[in-house]
Structure 1
Amino acid sequence: MQKQEQDKLVELHVTGMHCNNCALSVHKLLEKKGYANVFVSFANEEVKFTSHDEVNLPQVIDAIEGLGFKVQQENQEVKSGFLSEIEHKFLFALVFTIPLFLHMFLPFHWLHQPYVQLALCLPVFILGCAYFGKSAINSIKGGVPNMDVLIFVGSTSAFVYSLIGTLLALGPSYLFYETTATIITLVLLGNVFEKRSVIQTTSAVKDLIKIQHTKAIRVLDGTTETIDAKDIHVGDILLVNEGDQIPTDGDIIWGEAAINESMLTGESVPVEKHKYDAVIGGTLIERGSLRITATKVGNKTVLAQIIDLMKRAQAAKPPIQRLGDKVAAIFVPVVIGIALLTFFLAYFAFDLSFRQSLMNAIAVMVISCPCAMGLATPTAVMVGLGRSAKNGVLIKGGDTVEEMTDLRYMVFDKTGTLTTGNFSVRLMDSTLPDEDLAAMVYGLESYSSHPIAKSLVKAFQDKPKAKLIFTQVKEEKGLGIKAVDSEGNSYQIGSKQLVTNRTDAEGFDVFLLKNGILIAKIALEDELKPDAAMLMQTLKEQQITPVLLSGDRKEKCIALARTIGIDQVYAEQFPQDKLTIIEELKTKGKVAMVGDGINDAPALTTADVGISLGNSSQVAIQSAKVVLLNNELKSIITLLKIGKHTLLTIKQNLFWAFFYNVFAIPLAAFGFLSPMLAALAMACSDVVVIGNSIRLKFKRL
């Protein structure tokens, strides 16, 4: 872990990657150079990697651009000529292709002249060589041939064949310029569709990024100035008025407001915020006005971290994608082999003409589209993760989607997870004066983020307190707080584990010891979350066994389990005991763990899927694979539904991608599809796969 913190992170903006094969070639290149944690997203045009040694950035950029992609560096002016956009390339090619293609139907004799056709085809062919040819050659150099190899070889074969026919005046039977131009133009059209579809699949991340780009009003020496959110520094005082977006994370120092946090939690009901409350950048003030002091800026804000997590999650591959990746990696050489075999069998075995044999071989190359297989998984994952994020569920990895659909057990912590974590003091038993007890309990529990500790701090914060100074404080997972005051007295406050041998501990939840002597016992009441019983019923209907795993008292756990319908209960467990139970359950099937405290972090990490609540401790959030930003248990039902439908979409996409190739290649090989029809069909296959993924964005779950 220490090593990773010292590693240098490099982030690059790489354009020109239009499918998973492109991303794979960049990924392999960087791995060959010895870089770690390589992350490549063709949809977001991002490349990230880490290196323990100094990175020779110009060399890395040259290597990536050597594969046919363009690295856009920060603050670099982008030269955008007319042909830099794929849409413009398509329009340019279309202008020359239409008259060339229509010569077969129009009575203009000059269009039938070989050199006129050559003149019309040549600009399109040069454009194709520059776009597909460069990418094809560089992909072969990189060891991962992409689909551009097939397009380049197919269109070049038709062009060279036609050029020889023109130069040797062999007649119209040797002219296939319209085939060359139409292949390139239709594939460019397919790329236009693909680009626009991928933009839709990544819209959830782009919507969040737009939220970051806002203005802020900074208060300085009694005056105000408008600045960009990226120019905010920690400690700046910001004024945020009604209707404004909060520009960064901060704490309220003046004012009250109702804040819409739906972009974070999916919950549209505004949250009332008061002085000293924390606010999150990107949320919207619906009523009121605030002054806040900035506490987190830039990539440290909650929104920035969510965006980064979503990007990484969208690039993480589910196990089901490995099959698609393996096939895509060997697909191009196999197709070229099939095309050559088609040509030789047609020409030598079936006595077809050289012209027809060549057309069949070209059709095989053009119709074969590994892009559809490469796009099948990432597009579905992007849409699924985007939809879950808009519903207040942050999934940290595409692989988590598949694991969620195959769960056997879902294990729940009790306090703060199945219950609200809002405790009230039901009973206190102590011989101490009220002021001394309040000072000890408030002073000790203020060092913990556990829900019980927070409730006790709240219960004692308004009570008169004696002054008590602690010189040493330590929180022990599953036990509580240990401390030493300025006079050398030792204190312990925590669960029943502190007083295991006492008979008078029954009915109490929190125990306070001074110098090893029990001086106070506190009984608490906790409130059950409203969706808990409904969730357990839903899990059982889906053949997932709910399990209660808690450090709380056995009688309390059993009573709660009976109320909401959990049959399997493990009570009074230490963090290390929770690990053992999780590992035991994992031997019987996939296990998800839902928790919120520091003591749950090891179990969240050990489970196949760790699920944390949005108001959990940072340790729990970092340990989990899923974060429920709105803190509602019903979000788990949303998570299960989105996981199920995302995996179903991936399977449908892979089926159509494989079926398309299995069905189309033989048709092309036997001459039932011309190269032009093959190019059109190839473009359609990508659109079908991406369209099916986009359907997940709107379909009823």
Structure 2
Amino acid sequence: MAVKDKNTIMQTFPVLGMTCAACAGSAESIVQHQEGVVNASVNFATGNLTVEYLSDITNAEKLQKAVQGVGYDLLIEDETKQQETLEAIHEKKFKQLKTKTIWAIILSLPVVVIGMFFMDMPYANLIMWAFSTPVVLWLGRGFFINAWKQAKHRSANMDTLVALSTGIAYVFSVFNMLFADFWHQRGLHAHVYFEAAAVIIAFILLGKLLEEKAKGNTSSAIKKLMGLQPKTVIVVQANGTEKQTPIEEVIAGDIILVKPGEKIAVDGMVISGSSYVDESMLSGEPVPVLKKENEKVFAGTINQKGSFQFRAVKVGKETMLAHIIKMVQDAQGSKAPVQKLVDKIAGIFVPTVIGIAIFTFILWFVLGGNNGVVQGLLAAVTVLVIACPCALGLATPTAIMVGVGRGAEKGILIKDAESLELAKKVNAIVLDKTGTITEGRPQVTGIEWLNNDDTCKSILLSIEKQSEHPLAEAVVKHLDGVAATALSGFDSITGKGAKANHNSETYFVGNKKLLAENNINIPEKLQQQADEWSKLSKTVIWFANSKQALSVIAISDEIKETSVQAITEMQDMGIDLYMLTGDNEATAKAIAGQTGIKHYKAEVLPQHKADFVKELQQQGKTVAMVGDGINDSTALATADVSIAMGKGSDIAMDVAKMTIISSDLTKIPQAIRLSKQTVATIKQNLFWAFIYNVIGIPVAAGILYPINGFLLNPMIAGAAMALSSVSVVSNSLRLRWKK
């Protein structure tokens, strides 16, 4: 649940009982018209309703009653139980569908054989009637029940088409069998079409079964992510004893023991022990990461050979894994802009098809001669059967589901379908420098000593350990292994550095201004080295006693290993790259030169980043903004496509529509390629769904009959309809194996 503002609540509920895209439109429409509902969207592929409503006017129970009124249902349990209940419902539905399909095929086979090859055998019609009746009236009863529910609310969906086509064929056949003389007196043969009615039901059930299975495969990314969290953990009690505890009972502050090979259950901080942890599910990088005291660990990652204890910090819905799962679910359930047009078409599709079927019958009745009534009924039935809107309804959401899932597996979190659709159009990318192109962690890249003295190293380490300056941490890390020493009189000098006393001598760490103010001499050797480092845009700090400088240290924020490769790739794709940084001109120029970026701006304030994005947009460019800090959030919100680095600030990730979990820039060209592949798949799906109906409906109506005497058999129409949905879903699934 997400609170949008003071009175508005946004929730996602699974919708039960939908059979086609028109069902989704019907459920969406009824919810949208409820009092207090601000916005509602039903995704047929995910089976979810996303609704925003005013909490003081309506609630989940009212929405459930409204949806039940049109023949569907809402699952309004809390989210922890929802997934289990939903899986149980889907499992039960799949088993029932499988049983129905098998029986429908078994019972339809003898009807087809008799109807095609032995129609003149004794009691042929009675035998076919006996076998087809349970198929139509028992195994296919769901179509008639749902069609009646829709009719009561002056609505229609795929079930309406199936019920009308099979019902007409079945009733017409029963009439012809019982009152054959009615036709014989008019010089016509009393044909029966039991095989058409039975086989249409069998084929549609088979199509639904294959569709259900394929739709299950499209959400495999979610199942994989959910499977990363263990069901139980070992909690270390206050008295030191270990207790096996269900994951649901773990609370923040619990001490958890992780043994070799186990999955980490919740987010936390290591308090004792160390081990290498496989974080590939977060970063996409196969190399395990060393975790020692005070290092963060994340739910879903896998411990290697060592053993350690960590304190639970974020549990349940607060873990990074839970956030990832939620984001992927929301993105898979969101609608791409093209889908909104498809939904409108699906909404008027069924009534249009019924109109075409009636017009077809009238045309045959008027122009068909002696066989006009029979041929008209058959053609109308065939039109109703072949014109299923399922392929149309599945075309976009299945591709989005697979695309978003594929992105999640690669460490690219996509928040909504719109950004996935839009990413392919990006032709300008604005990059923040620190934490995006560079590591965002200052490191000592060089240190020059006047005399390589261990005592001096100990004093430098001890001063920097007490300093709060961000650069001090880099020096402390560099001197790892050096023993600290006792100091007195530590004093932090704002904007310049720090000083402290050791054995009656004063020592300074800071910039050149600090040394000048204290009349400290700088030896030529150290000055030359400092000048060289300054030319390379490195930050230079000095270590000195009260008389002379003892050491000069170079610190810089290193460019990520993959940044140059990613920048080259994006430029090769014809994308203009712009680097914006708050750093000085020299540093910006050096970074741009090392990475090959042609356009850069230095000393840029946060608001100016957003203004620059707007400037590019005014030039007609589709702009992506890539950043990781709070200072990037305004620009991220302004851009057409916003991409956050996963190791950056929470606000940047909240604002951005895409998150690169590993903060690896090479994931951005991957995301753009994924967008291109997904959009291409959507277009292919829509083309085939439309072209199928554009060709299929006129052929079913009998347009070829005056030319070559061809009439489409309703059974073949049923098979074609089932295959159209399966082909669209299968085409979407191909995305899973594309590079």
Counterpart for residue 569 of structure 1: 600
Alignment of 1:525 with 2:556, yes or no, is yes
Deviation per CA, 1:65-102: give whole Å up to 9, x if none.
33333445646987998997211221232232222222
What is the rounded CA distance, in whole Å, between the counterparts of 1:325 and 1:677 in structure 2? Answer: 27
Letter in 1 for 2:231: T
Letter in 2 for 1:100: V
Counterpart for residue 626 of structure 2: 594
SS in 2 for 1:125: helix
Deviation per CA, 1:191-234: give whole Å up to 9, x if none.
00100111111111111122235221122232222232222222
Alignment of 1:540 with 2:571, yes or no, is yes
Matches within 5 A, 1:614-693: 614-670=646-702, 672-693=711-732
SS in 2 for 1:610: strand
Alignment of 1:353 with 2:372, yes or no, is yes
Contact residue 385 and residue 394 of structure 1 kept, 8 A: yes
Structure 2 stretches lacking a partner, 5+ long:
184-188, 449-458, 496-509, 512-533, 542-551, 703-709
What is the rounded CA distance, in whole Å, between the counterparts of 1:126 and 1:219 in structure 2? Answer: 61
Alignment of 1:320 with 2:321, yes or no, is no
Aligned with residue 49 of structure 2, among 47, 50, 57: 47
Contact residue 298 and residue 320 of structure 2 kept, 8 A: yes
Alignment of 1:278 with 2:278, yes or no, is no
Counterpart for residue 517 of structure 1: none
Contact residue 256 and residue 311 of structure 2 kept, 8 A: yes
1:36, CA displacement in angstroms?
4.0
Matches within 5 A, 1:241-640: 241-351=259-369, 352-424=371-443, 438=464, 441-442=467-468, 455=474, 524-588=555-619, 589-640=621-672
What is the rounded CA distance, in whole Å, between the counterparts of 1:63 and 1:110 in structure 2? Answer: 53
Q: TM-score, normalised by structure 1?
A: 0.85
SS in 2 for 1:211: coil
Q: 1:370 to 1:541 in 2, by over 3 A?
A: same
Alignment of 1:207 with 2:224, yes or no, is yes
Alignment of 1:66 with 2:69, yes or no, is yes
Counterpart for residue 96 of structure 2: 85
What is the rounded CA distance, in whole Å, between the counterparts of 2:133 and 2:489 in structure 1? Answer: 89
SS in 2 for 1:611: strand
1:456, CA displacement in angstroms?
7.8
Contact residue 363 and residue 675 of structure 1 kept, 8 A: yes
Q: 1:85 to 1:211 in 2, by over 3 A?
A: farther
Deviation per CA, 1:512-571: give whole Å up to 9, x if none.
xxxxxxxxx997422112222222222222211011111111121122212222111111
Contact residue 430 and residue 579 of structure 2 kept, 8 A: yes
What is the rounded CA distance, in whole Å, between the counterparts of 1:276 and 1:436 in structure 2? Answer: 20
Contact residue 18 and residue 195 of structure 1 kept, 8 A: no
Deviation per CA, 1:280-322: give whole Å up to 9, x if none.
1111111211212211111111111111111111122222323
Aligned with residue 205 of structure 2, among 188, 200, 215: 188
What is the rounded CA distance, in whole Å, between the counterparts of 1:465 and 1:635 in structure 2? Answer: 47
What is the rounded CA distance, in whole Å, between the counterparts of 2:122 and 2:256 in structure 1? Answer: 69
Letter in 1 for 2:314: K
Counterpart for residue 111 of structure 2: 100
Letter in 1 for 2:587: K
Contact residue 100 and residue 111 of structure 1 kept, 8 A: no
Contact residue 264 and residue 392 of structure 1 kept, 8 A: yes
SS in 2 for 1:12: strand
Deviation per CA, 1:436-495: give whole Å up to 9, x if none.
9858851x65xxxxxx7975886799797889999xxxxxxxx9xxxxxxxxxxxxx99x
Counterpart for residue 130 of structure 1: 141
SS in 2 for 1:416: helix
What is the rounded CA distance, in whole Å, between the counterparts of 2:489 and 2:130 in structure 1? Answer: 93
What is the rounded CA distance, in whole Å, between the counterparts of 1:120 and 1:399 in structure 2? Answer: 49
What is the rounded CA distance, in whole Å, between the counterparts of 1:131 and 1:105 in structure 2? Answer: 28
What is the rounded CA distance, in whole Å, between the counterparts of 1:115 and 1:364 in structure 2? Answer: 27
Contact residue 177 and residue 190 of structure 2 kept, 8 A: no
SS in 2 for 1:411: strand
Q: 1:281 to 1:465 in 2, by over 3 A?
A: farther
Q: 1:87 to 1:564 in 2, by over 3 A?
A: same
Letter in 2 for 1:695: R
Contact residue 439 and residue 466 of structure 1 kept, 8 A: no
Letter in 1 for 2:424: T
1:680, CA displacement in angstroms?
0.2
Structure 1 stretches lacking a partner, 5+ long:
446-451, 471-478, 480-492, 495-504, 512-520
Contact residue 43 and residue 397 of structure 2 kept, 8 A: no
Deviation per CA, 1:156-214: give whole Å up to 9, x if none.
11122123223434477242222111111110110001001111111111111222352
Counterpart for residue 147 of structure 1: 158
Counterpart for residue 484 of structure 1: none
SS in 2 for 1:212: coil
Contact residue 251 and residue 292 of structure 1 kept, 8 A: yes
Counterpart for residue 497 of structure 1: none
Query: How well do the aligned residues superpose, as a CA RMSD in angstroms?
Result: 3.6
Q: TM-score, normalised by structure 2?
A: 0.80
Letter in 2 for 1:651: K
Letter in 2 for 1:226: Q
Q: 1:548 to 1:9 in 2, by over 3 A?
A: closer
Alignment of 1:236 with 2:267, yes or no, is no
Deviation per CA, 1:13-37: give whole Å up to 9, x if none.
4333344433333222222113345
Letter in 2 for 1:603: A
Aligned with residue 119 of structure 1, among 124, 127, 130: 130
Contact residue 180 and residue 190 of structure 2 kept, 8 A: no
Q: 1:616 to 1:56 in 2, by over 3 A?
A: closer
Counterpart for residue 164 of structure 1: 175
Letter in 2 for 1:291: Q
Contact residue 508 and residue 522 of structure 1 kept, 8 A: no
What is the rounded CA distance, in whole Å, between the counterparts of 2:316 and 2:94 in structure 1? Answer: 35
What is the rounded CA distance, in whole Å, between the counterparts of 2:106 and 2:178 in structure 1? Answer: 25
Number of residues of Structure 1 aligned to a counterpart in Structure 2: 653
Q: 1:569 to 1:538 in 2, by over 3 A?
A: same
Q: 1:467 to 1:335 in 2, by over 3 A?
A: farther
Counterpart for residue 486 of structure 1: none
Counterpart for residue 197 of structure 1: 214
SS in 2 for 1:235: coil
Counterpart for residue 485 of structure 1: none
Alignment of 1:14 with 2:45, yes or no, is no
* Deviation larger for 322-331 or 597-606: 322-331
Contact residue 439 and residue 468 of structure 1 kept, 8 A: no
Q: 1:50 to 1:233 in 2, by over 3 A?
A: farther
What is the rounded CA distance, in whole Å, between the counterparts of 2:461 and 2:288 in structure 1? Answer: 38
* Deviation larger for 264-273 or 681-690: 264-273
What is the rounded CA distance, in whole Å, between the counterparts of 1:117 and 1:250 in structure 2? Answer: 67
